[in-house]
Chain A
């Protein structure tokens, strides 16, 4: 009984180690393949469009919603002890340091990472990846690299956009609804922030982008078993990358903030 349970745990652990090793190996190969020729500009542009430009509406809407809800909570909370003025300061802190990067990362893992997993998964089960190999094209170089570059460049930009939208979301609520002075809001929003915070936010965006692209591509590339496999790839890619985004967020915050 106990032996069997241990057996199962051991087997699970082995599988997990195996997967971690596989992921690390493929990630290494992806980074190594970045400078290799030929550089496929149209392909990269398509990914920029898919990852970056087409994600703008999602990022704008979610950032707006989250920043406004947060502002509501803050102004309500601070009203309890007559400190409404602090709401805009904390709003700035929260949006720039956490909300913008994490919300953008999570939304993008759902929008972009899952699409990558589904696309590569379909290519895998329909032998298109084998066909790439046979045409002497490294799938890592052809498929992974543009996606990685696009996500690594676009995620910080989208995080920046999210901060900008978050600023105006807070503005709309605190100034428009709660009736604070617009002049005060503009000054207070940045009061607790330094340039360092923007840098941290963008670094987080970069790291999240790398996580999203690598996990999405890896899950797709390792798809097995027809339609069911293709169905599982995006799901597990979203779960895995969301988890790693949250874990990475914790450590990045802890490390970069000291």
Chain B
């Protein structure tokens, strides 16, 4: 395989909202390190992934790249929280065989001037495969959360059902989120849905909660938990759900 050994720049579509300055001085080899996962036909594999202050340098770059092949009728689930590093980035390149399913729940949280992003490229290469990607981003300070999701549906991949949902919650004025859906569809009998929205905390709800005795921190935590919880509803393991939620919420409590 030939390698592109130059640093990416913001001109690259997949790095458009990223922090490419943070890449300076990085080991170029990192751009060619992939975790390969093959899900055999009919099986289910779940991967959970955390980038946090515990496992990454707050001022550095943390890049995780997954290359996934999902076999016929198989299911791959990815649940991830990006809550650490100056640039925390999860890339997923994935192909679905006939009748396969990809389920993703991603959460980004962060302040300062950090960038935390999910970048996915999902190829529906055979008929009847489905994919569902949910990303929830909560940012403050000058923090940024991104979801760049490309979906390719080849000509033969009829009855594809692909969905993407992105919501951003901005807790302070300087924060931002970006959603970049990109659909390349060459089959005609296909369902592709994507939704993106951005908002702020519901101050009516916060006063209501305060009137019942919850401190500003407690009401914020509850509302953020409800917001990011969307990304984990398909995670069928309560303990794991709890763990991922706690990582995201603790980040919030510690730094805001």
Bound pair (A, B)? no
